[in-house]
Each structure stands twice: as structure tokens, then as C-alpha cells.
Structure 1
């Protein structure tokens, strides 16, 4: 491998020595799998429903009508009414926005904290790696949900606070994935070539190493999206997440649980929505892992 040197300018060697078309082939393979295609279509459907919720909702999700409390399934209330007579179908549609926003916030926080620290520890080694790894091990040794509850107890309930707390909980796992991948990539010859021609550490991290750890990072982030949704639903079920009058699938499950003898079917709409969405994210993560592993081995 050769590299050109020009006055006042550093020309790096190719950052990715593998076939540049591997991502396109991996996407095509991903779309050919029925399970991943169904999962991806379901997630895209949720995005469309979340965007169109104000226009396609049968009723105002917060409009109360006590005469329709625990109303059965009907043409007026497609999925029935809750304890205050609010339309369950409308609340379910509007809750999709929070169901998608919550994982984005938590995984985004984990990416911001975990990726730079993992790249730095994997490349630099030494004291930085030791300190960051011990911090990650300490956080991983704590029960995740209990740690999130402790953070929420300090900063207070609310969607953003809960998701930031979950992001801190997810950070050690992303750190370990990125660190491990970065340590492997750092041993490649083109990294030595980049160092030899004078590339800075930051340039090596973001231009050479990050593109090569994107595959395991994408897999982990996709799986964490499902875990974040499940955790948000659990915390909202406990009353620590989304606060009234906003609706979330977790708070709807809590309402259904409190009134299970008066409306036994009320648990089905939010429960099925949570199960299918988490299953879709996990299916995408597992399929991306299988596809990327096969392509990288080739």
C-alpha cells in the first residue's frame, strides 16, 4: 500500500480496504429475507402512522366523554374507550410518536457517550483504556432498570429524563462493542500506513476506524432500540415515563391493568403494539448481524 505526500497536505491511504460495494449487497440481501422485509415494512408503517396521526385519528386522543367509559369495540370507537371515555384507537396512534421518539433519544445518548470513548480506548489503549473499561464494567455490574430508576429519582419523571437515564444505562454495552471492534481494526496495516504519513489520531478514529466498526455498531443500536421501547413502556407503566394527558403504550397498559375486570380486552391494543414493535427491531438487528457477518467473512 502506498500513499502520496504533497506539501502541506496529507493524503491518506484507503480507509476501507474491503470491497466498497459490500454495503449495497448487504442491503439487497437484507431486503430479500422475508422476516427482515416484514420487520422493516412494519417499522416504516409506524413512521407513516406517527406522521399522519393528527389527520387519521378517529377522535381527539385527550377528549373525555364519561358516557363512553369502557365503551366496547364499535364503529365509533374502533378499539373501545378507556376509563375516561377517551378513544383508545386515537390514543394508540398518537402514542406511536413517543414509541419511536423514546428509543431514538436513549440510543442517541448512548451513541454520543459510547462511540467516542470506545474508539479512543480501542485505539489508544494504555491508561485511557483501563480507566474507561473499569467505568464500563462498574456500570454493567449494576442492574440496568434499578440504575435507571435511581437516575429518574434524582432528575424527576418525564419522557426525556427517562430516556436519558436509559441512554446512560446502554452506554457501557455500546462502549464494549465499539472498543472491541476498534482494537481489531487498529491492528490492520492501513492504520499503520495512516500513522506513518502523519495522520492525526482524530483523523484515524473518524476516517479509518469508525467506518469499519459501523456494522457491529448498527446491529447493537438496532437491538437497543427494541430494549429502549420495552424499558420506556415499563417505566411509563410505573408512572415514571410519559405524564398525563399524553399517551404512551406503557401508560395505556397501566390503565388496562387497573381496570382489567371492567374491560378485560383493553390490554390487547397497547400490548400487541409493544410486542410487535420490539419483535420488529430485534428481527432487524438479528438479520443485520447475520448478513454483515456473512459479508465480512467473504
Structure 2
């Protein structure tokens, strides 16, 4: 009996569910200790952001000027700031900003870069030429300078700052999506879909987008970490989150201003920011490795 006959005669079990490519990637990421740890940290961060008002040790905006720069204690696990506010409560409150800011900026970048990248990669033509030149122009500018120029028009604030960052992210995301689309557009199934008269919209969203999801997810996770750093930078110079709202960037600014009165006040927001950015980057690396392993097979 030949090998082909043995394979054809092997019993099949139709009751076993087939795992989607996305499911296999998720399982591969969670099998890695680093990926599982990063995902667990982000889940905890989401829980803190959502359930923050229920677990604050103190009101994060309540001032106690008689207890300024208090050290670590049972009532104040991370001490107090220059206004006597509980640092632990403000760290938890700022977790909302740490998640909302990247979501806003990356969402704006996807809204701009994804459809144009898909269209330019499949149809090319005038859209590809104009969008490509515009992307090159924006990419040639320093990112923070471009964000500050946009903020000069929109004004300070979290949403405006993240919209500005999203506009700066859009050209890079456009390049990633366009390059991946160019590769997938040469596949036989795409040519077949076009040959049978599939509308362009269906070809883009049904046939191409699922096949570029992996590199897109990697880019999105990387941009999430960069967006958090950008938000912290803008809040540090007073153009992001406005008082009395808490942000890790504004807390770092306060720690820098009062470094001689409370030299260790930079540690809590600094550690929170480093761990969050590291978690985003670790998830991105795990997805990239999972995709590479899957392609290698």
C-alpha cells in the first residue's frame, strides 16, 4: 500500500472543530511565557482602568496639603504628591489614559491608513501615487514636530493630542498595509476573485484584509506602545492630559519639578509606563514570531 493510499484511508473525525488562523496565532502567543505574562499584565491593566473607582485607596483628586510628599505607609502605599494626593490612586486612575490614548491614536491611524493602503496596494493608480507622495512628505518630518504643529491648530487636550499622534502614525501604517497588500494581491485566489467579477470592496475586505491581519496586528501593537510614550511626552510639556486628571506623563513632570523634595516620586509612574510599553512590545514580538513559525510550516 502506498503512502498516498494510507493517507486517503486514514479515518477523519468531522466532530473535531477546526481552529482559525487567528486562533492558532493566539494560542501560540499564549504558550510563550513572555507572551502570556504580557497578556496577563494588560488584562490586569484593563481591570484597573474599568474598576478603578471601586478600588481606589483614596479619592485621587482629594488634596491634603498637611501631608505633602508623605513616604510609603499603610494608608498611602506609594506615598503622596506635592498636593497630598494619594499616588497609588492616581496611578490607577491614569491607567484609563494609558489605554484610551493608544486606542484613540491607533484608531485614527487605522481609519486613515488602512483603507488607503488596501486600495493603493490593489488598484494602485492615482490613489497610490498621491497617497504615497503624501505619506513620504509626512514621514520626512520629525514626528513630534508634526504632532506639535497639528496641536497648534487643534489646541491642547488628550483627544486632540492623540488625534495628532494618529495622523503622524497614519503614513507608516499606510506603508505597511500597502506593502502587505501588494504581496497578497498577486496570489491566485485574488486574481480569481477579480476574474469572476467580485466587487473591489469585497475583494479588499474579504480576500485581502484577513491575509494581512498578522503584520497589521504586529504594527498595531508596536504603535500602541509608541502612542503611550507620545502621550506621556505631550502631557509632560502640558499639551496632553490637563489637570486635575492624572496621567503618567504629567506625574513624571510633577516628579521632575519636585525632584529635590521627593526624589523617588518618579519611580511609580516610570515603572508603570515601562511595564505597559514592554507588554505591548512583547505581545507584538510574540505575534511576529507566531506568524513566522506558522509560515515556516
| Pairing 1:165-244 to 2, within 5 Å after superposition | 165-244=164-243
How far off is 1:75 after superposition?
Answer: 1.1
* Pair 1:105 & 2:104 matched: yes
Could you list the per-position Cα deviations for residues 246-277 of structure 1 after superposition, in whole angstroms to 9, with x for gaps in the alignment? 00000000000000000011000000000000
Between the aligned partners of 1:256 and 1:29, the Cα distance in structure 2 is: 40
| Pairing 1:45-64 to 2, within 5 Å after superposition | 45-64=44-63
Could you list the per-position Cα deviations for residues 77-126 of structure 1 after superposition, in whole angstroms to 9, with x for gaps in the alignment? 11111111111111111000011000000000000000000000000112
Residue 263 of structure 1: aligned partner: 262
* Pair 1:163 & 2:135 matched: no
How far off is 1:130 after superposition?
Answer: 1.2
SS in 1 for 2:264: helix
* Unpaired stretches in structure 2, ≥5 consecutive residues: 1-17
Residue 150 of structure 2: aligned partner: 151
* Pair 1:21 & 2:23 matched: no
* Unpaired stretches in structure 1, ≥5 consecutive residues: 1-18
Residue 83 of structure 1: aligned partner: 82
- Dislocated runs of 4+, deviation >6 Å: none
SS in 1 for 2:162: helix
SS in 1 for 2:266: helix
Between the aligned partners of 2:240 and 2:82, the Cα distance in structure 1 is: 20
Q: Which is worse superposed, 20-29 or 91-100?
A: 20-29
Between the aligned partners of 1:295 and 1:209, the Cα distance in structure 2 is: 18
Between the aligned partners of 1:104 and 1:113, the Cα distance in structure 2 is: 14
Residue 123 of structure 2: aligned partner: 124
SS in 1 for 2:227: helix
Residue 251 of structure 1: aligned partner: 250
Between the aligned partners of 1:22 and 1:267, the Cα distance in structure 2 is: 42
Between the aligned partners of 1:170 and 1:117, the Cα distance in structure 2 is: 14
Between the aligned partners of 2:296 and 2:220, the Cα distance in structure 1 is: 21
Over aligned residue pairs, what C-alpha RMSD do you find? 1.1
Between the aligned partners of 1:273 and 1:111, the Cα distance in structure 2 is: 26
Between the aligned partners of 2:244 and 2:293, the Cα distance in structure 1 is: 47
How far off is 1:21 after superposition?
Answer: 3.3
Q: How many residues matched?
A: 280
Could you list the per-position Cα deviations for residues 176-203 of structure 1 after superposition, in whole angstroms to 9, with x for gaps in the alignment? 0100011111111111111111111111
* Pair 1:34 & 2:26 matched: no
Cα 1:293/1:120, change in 2 over 3 Å: same
How far off is 1:127 after superposition?
Answer: 2.0
How far off is 1:47 after superposition?
Answer: 0.4
Between the aligned partners of 1:45 and 1:167, the Cα distance in structure 2 is: 25
Could you list the per-position Cα deviations for residues 233-253 of structure 1 after superposition, in whole angstroms to 9, with x for gaps in the alignment? 111011110000100000000
Residue 290 of structure 1: aligned partner: 289
Could you tell me the TM-score, scaled by structure 1's length?
A: 0.92
Could you list the per-position Cα deviations for residues 278-297 of structure 1 after superposition, in whole angstroms to 9, with x for gaps in the alignment? 00000111110111122123
Between the aligned partners of 1:297 and 1:22, the Cα distance in structure 2 is: 14
Between the aligned partners of 2:196 and 2:182, the Cα distance in structure 1 is: 21
How far off is 1:157 after superposition?
Answer: 0.4
